[in-house]
Structure 1
Amino acid sequence: MPARSLEELSRQLQKIDFCMLQTKDETGAFSVRPMSNNGDVDYDGESYFFSYEQTRKVSDIERDARVGLTFTAPPSLLGKPGIFLAIDGTASLIRDKVQFKAHWVKDFERWFPEGIDTAGIVLIKVSAIEIQYWDGEENGRIPLAKHESR
């Protein structure tokens, strides 16, 4: 039984804006880039990220939907180490403006100037299979039964 619950990890994720999204390129090599969740975290095992359609990460996901996310929170003011999260998941691409609207925040206009009507926009949904965490005092794994395992 994990020492932390998914609810506890959700509260931690709300404090972390950026993560690293890992995909595999056409040669099988890892390709990693930062992505922002912009606080869109009521975490139930699914993460959402906006991107342009014509990017390597999208073509990587179309070829191989297996992805990884890593999140890191800094140490607390009291000196307690931050938390590290590694999420093993499956990505899917959403092209539905209703879903865009559900996950949109105004700050995205920096990258997508026409909002959800920006040409070539896509929403990447990452469904977690398993979450691993470390916080300097404890570590654990949370398998998510609602998602297929590999």
Structure 2
Amino acid sequence: MADKTLKDVAEVMKDLDICMLTTTTSNGMLASRPMSNNRQVEYDGNSHFFTWESSRMVSDIEMDNGVNLGFQQGYELFISITGKAEVTRDKEKMAEHWVDELEDWFEDGLDTPGLAMITVIAKQIKYWQGEDEGEVKL
């Protein structure tokens, strides 16, 4: 088991757009949904996702902010990120991570009513890549 650095994992993540974001629901069950990280290639241990503030995901996070992100590329690469999530409605913070393609879902851009951004701060990153598996030291 060879441990990779955060930079190593960021390099392989640059081509991964969709992950599964898992939260704990109000009845204690786990719920996962696909989310796009907008191909933010400068991964620094934080992931940013845009959503509706009225979503079940936001209420789950506000109740229990422990989350997991699951990334996969074919049968060769799997990444599991366990972290703490924060929800913001601050337009200045959201602007730092906004990309024009998001207007496909949020047609008024950052002025879309009900827009929120979830930031997942990684606490543990595990990976499996071919025969290699390990953990990133954070």
TM class by shorter chain equals over 0.9
- 2:44 is paired with a residue whose SS is coil
Give the structure 2 partner of residue 91 of structure 1.
85
Q: Percent identity?
A: 43
Any stretches of 5+ residues in structure 1 without a counterpart? 75-80, 145-150
- Matched-pair contact (CA < 8 Å) for 2:126–2:136: yes
After TM superposition, list the pairs within 5 Å mapping 1:3-82 onto structure 2. 3-74=3-74, 82=76
CA distance in 1, matches of 2:117, 2:91: 9
Of 101-110 and 37-46, more deviation after overlay is shown by 37-46
Give the structure 1 partner of residue 119 of structure 2.
125
TM-score (norm 2): 0.95
Any stretches of 5+ residues in structure 2 without a counterpart? none
Q: CA deviation at 1:100?
A: 1.3
> Is 1:100 matched up with 2:94?
yes
Q: CA deviation at 1:121?
A: 0.4
CA distance in 2, matches of 1:86, 1:34: 14
Stretches of 4+ aligned residues off by more than 2 angstroms: none
Note the alpha carbon deviations across 1:59-79, whole angstroms, 9 max, x for none: 0000000000000113xxxxx
CA distance in 2, matches of 1:143, 1:135: 17
- The residue type paired with residue 30 of structure 1 is L
Equivalent pairs, count: 138
TM-score (norm 1): 0.88
Q: Cα RMSD over matched residues?
A: 1.2
